[in-house]
Amino acid sequence: MQMIGIIREAVIIKVFVSINIISIDLSPQLKLDSRLARWLLKLQGSQVAIEGINPRSLRLIIDLGYVTEPGTLVLYPKPDIPPGFVVLKYQPRELRLTFLPLEEAGEEPIEENDE
């Protein structure tokens, strides 16, 4: 008698801490008042994929392209992960960030010479 078996890949859950938060598209006229911290990401995926993932490939992204003037805003980061995983939880769900004009941040804009 021939036996046929089914092998199923194990699915596991893992929490990654110290995940980078990356900001993109900030206006060259503005600067963040503080550094972005690192936070938490909880993923589900195959055991092989979870165990093989490089934690540096996981991050939370904040799109700052629509921030056009100084002030304080509450923004919502989004997970950016490789395909094949399910995001079960991430923190922070929101960030309160302050944006300053470049001059107030203690930096001078670079001027081009017309020589």
pLDDT of the residue at 65: 92
pLDDT of the residue at 102: 84
Which segments in the chain show pLDDT lower than 70?
Answer: 1, 104-115
pLDDT of the residue at 108: 52
Beta strand extents in the chain (DSSP E only): 11-24, 30-32, 38-46, 59-63, 71-75, 78-80, 86-91, 95-101
pTM exceeds cut of 0.85: no
pLDDT of the residue at 114: 45
pLDDT for 92-112, tens place per residue?
Answer: 899 899 999 987 545 554 444
CATH number of 11-101: 2.170.120.30
Domain ranges of the chain: 11-101
C-alpha to C-alpha distance for 42 and 1, rounded to whole angstroms: 45
